Each structure stands twice: as C-alpha cells, then as structure tokens.
C-alpha cells in the first residue's frame, strides 16, 4: 500500500519528507496542497491537521500524521534500517539529536529569517541589514556542522542518516539564493555529495519560482 501525502513540491518541509520517502524507496501518492493550491483550509484537511499546514501523511489505515520531524521519525522507525536509523538506542539517539539540532538551528534559522526575506519579500521591502544578520546567525550554527563535516562524510558519521535529511534539505536554497555566504569548504563538499543522490535531485533541487514575491 502506498503512502498518501498532502503538500506542494516547493515546500521545504514537504521536500524533507519526500526526500526521506525517496531514500527509503517507498511508493506514494502526493496531493498538491498549501500556498497557491489551497486544500489546506478545507474542513476535510483541517480534520486531519487542525494547524492547516503541510505536510500531512497517511500510511494505510493509520491516523494522519503531521509535523515533519515526527513524520520522518515514524517513517524511519517503520521502514528504515541502520545506519540510516539505527536499532541500538544510543546510536539512534545520536542520529535523532543531530536531526533535532538541524531542525531547530538550521532549518528554522534559514527558512523564515533568510529565505522568506530574500525570496518571498518584494525587493522594496527587504531589509539587507536584517538579512545579513540572519545569515551571520545561521552560519554560527553551520560552522558547527563544518567542523563535523571536515571529519565525517555526513553529519553524524561517514554514513548517511535521517539527520542529513533534516540538515541537508535547506542547503540547495542556501547555496542558490542571492546572499553573501561564508567560506565553508567542508559544507560545500557535503552539499556536492548530497547532489549526487537521486532522491535529493528529484525532491529537493526543484524550482521555487512560484514562491517569489
């Protein structure tokens, strides 16, 4: 039975979910929802997720799931295997710790204060100083990843894990948008490795032109 997923391809949270689905090789049906597609404000959708946000996932007859991090852990627990999602508690918690760190410090530190302000804000209303400050704040966290990536191929270890999905799904836009960036060679090499992954190219490296102000 295939997964049923509500969400648009240019939502960063949906991209994280779809990248995970792609890495796990799971069959799915995706329904456009959110932003210009609507759907997420209908009674039927709100019955699944009262927040009216995407993504939402339904796996068979199980209740609908929302909140991207929770969905990713569900998929990893149900369909993933070590080293992507280790069975041993300490090793799994290490992956989960870096996944949570990535969501709170990198994804949230990039999407609203940087991406939205650069791409989704009209040029006349942009605040270059605020954008530069947000990029600087983000890059203090990226330097933590830079240190790790100078020693490992991926965020947790030399193996690709769930943490790389939570961390890496924003890097395509980070490197693509018009901002000044710090010189972080290990991070850039890591992103180059991610770009070799078919699921990353399919689900993350997609146009965000429809989001432009």
Please give the average pLDDT of every successive group of 10 residues along the chain, which has 213 residues.
94 98 98 98 98 98 97 98 98 98 98 98 97 98 98 98 98 98 98 98 98 96
Q: Is 190 helix (H, G, I), strand (E, B) or coil?
A: helix
Q: How far is the C-alpha of 91 from the C-alpha of 76, rounded, in Å?
A: 14
Together in a domain, 111 and 182: yes
40 and 13 belong to one structural domain: yes
* Secondary-structure percent of the chain, ordered helix, strand, coil, rounded to 5: 55, 5, 35
Is there a contact between 34 and 53 (Cβ–Cβ < 8 Å)? yes
The answer to whether residues 72 and 94 belong to one domain is: no
pLDDT attached to residue 1: 66
Q: What is the pLDDT of residue 162?
A: 98
Q: Are 139 and 184 in contact (CB under 8 A)?
A: yes
Query: pTM of this prediction?
Result: 0.97
**Tokens at residue 193, please?**
């490795």
| Closest-CA residue to 117 (of 34, 45, 15, 212) | 212
| Structural element, H or E, at residue 5 | strand 3-6
Give the integer Cα–Cα distance in Å for 34 and 55.
9
CA distance 175 to 186: 14
Domain that holds residue 181: 89-204
Q: Domain check: are 67 and 94 in the same one?
A: no
Stated length of the chain: 213
Residues 109 and 161 in one domain: yes
Q: What is the CATH number of the domain that holds 75?
A: 3.40.30.10
Pair 102, 36 in one domain: no
The reply to whether 10 falls in a domain is yes
Does residue 72 share a domain with residue 123?
no
Strands of 16-158, DSSP E? 28-31, 56-59, 65-66
Contact between 110 and 138 under an 8 Å Cβ cutoff? The reply is yes
């Amino acid at each position: 039975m295939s997964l049923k997923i509500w969400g648009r391809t240019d939502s960063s949270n949906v991209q994280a979910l779809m990248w995970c689905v792609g890495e796990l090789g799971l069959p799915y049906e995706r329904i456009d929802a959110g932003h210009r597609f609507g759907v997420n404000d209908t009674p039927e959708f709100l019955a699944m997720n009262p927040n009216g946000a995407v993504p939402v996932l339904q796996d068979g007859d199980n209740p609908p799931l929302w909140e991207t991090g929770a969905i990713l852990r569900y998929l990893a627990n149900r369909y993933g295997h070590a080293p992507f999602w280790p069975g041993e508690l300490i090793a799994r918690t290490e992956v989960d710790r870096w996944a949570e760190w990535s969501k709170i410090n990198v994804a949230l530190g990039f999407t609203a204060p940087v991406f939205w302000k650069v791409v989704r804000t009209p040029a006349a209303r942009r605040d270059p100083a605020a954008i530069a400050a947000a990029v600087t704040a983000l890059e203090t966290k990226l330097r933590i990843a830079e240190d790790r990536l100078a020693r490992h191929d991926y965020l947790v270890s030399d193996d690709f894990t769930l943490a790389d999905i939570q961390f890496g799904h924003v890097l395509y836009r980070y490197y693509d948008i018009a901002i000044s960036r710090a010189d972080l060679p290990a991070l850039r090499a890591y992103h180059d490795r991610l770009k070799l992954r078919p699921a990353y190219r399919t689900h993350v490296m997609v146009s965000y032109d429809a989001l432009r102000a």
